[in-house]
């Protein structure tokens, strides 16, 4: 079992765009209940099944497994809560950490979030100038909630 310790921030400006190229992600949820989420994700012709526990503070348990691409495609079309999430992910190293910038498409168009996975909740890191307001504690920004209430409907 892995422990995910993650912080989320809104992104401001376009200064980050020249630092990385994006990879298209398609992901959907088989379960979006508060106690657990079950996600199917496809990126770079690879597929994963991820199960996450309820978030406590900024951490939660996470289990991730590779699955056949054909199975993931069927699950996204036939089993996942709709609409599925489509986004470009950019990975930007800054000092000792890697920022993951998600630029959402479709029903979540216009939303850009930076996520940072930490080794411990009290890990110190530098905020690049393109990082805006922290939204770690706001459940509206969780991907599984963006399926239920997309950003364009706020």
Which band of pLDDT confidence, cut at 50, 70 and 90, is reported for residue 3? confident
Output the pLDDT for position 141.
97
Q: Which two tokens stand for residue 35?
A: 């106690």
The one catalytic residue in 25, 29, 90, 141 is: 29
d(CA 98, CA 91): 6
Burial of 33 (0-12, 13-18, 19+ CB in 10 A): exposed
Domain boundaries, the chain: 2-153
44: helix, strand or coil: coil
Query: Cα 4 from chain centroid?
Result: 12
Is 141 noted as a catalytic residue in this protein? no
Region 118-128: what's the mean pLDDT? 94
> What is the CATH architecture assignment of 2-153?
Beta Barrel (2.40)
The Cα–Cα gap between 80 and 57 comes to 27
Predicted model pTM: 0.92
Identify the band that residue 40 occupies on the pLDDT scale cut at 50, 70 and 90: very high
Q: What is the pLDDT of residue 1?
A: 57
């Amino acid at each position: 079992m892995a422990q995910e310790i993650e912080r989320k921030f809104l992104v401001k400006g376009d200064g980050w765009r020249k630092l990385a190229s994006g990879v298209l992600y398609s992901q959907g949820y088989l379960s979006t209940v508060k106690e657990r989420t079950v996600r199917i994700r496809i990126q770079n012709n690879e597929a994963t099944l991820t199960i996450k526990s309820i978030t406590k503070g900024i951490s939660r348990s996470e289990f991730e497994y590779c699955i056949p691409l054909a199975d993931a495609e069927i699950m996204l079309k036939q089993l996942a809560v709709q609409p599925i999430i489509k986004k470009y992910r950019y990975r930007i190293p800054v000092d000792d950490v890697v920022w993951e910038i998600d630029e959402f498409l479709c029903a979540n168009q216009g939303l850009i979030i930076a996520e940072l996975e930490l080794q411990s909740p009290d890990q110190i890191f530098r905020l690049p100038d393109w990082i805006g307001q922290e939204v770690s504690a706001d459940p509206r920004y969780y991907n599984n909630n963006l399926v239920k209430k997309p950003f364009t409907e706020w």
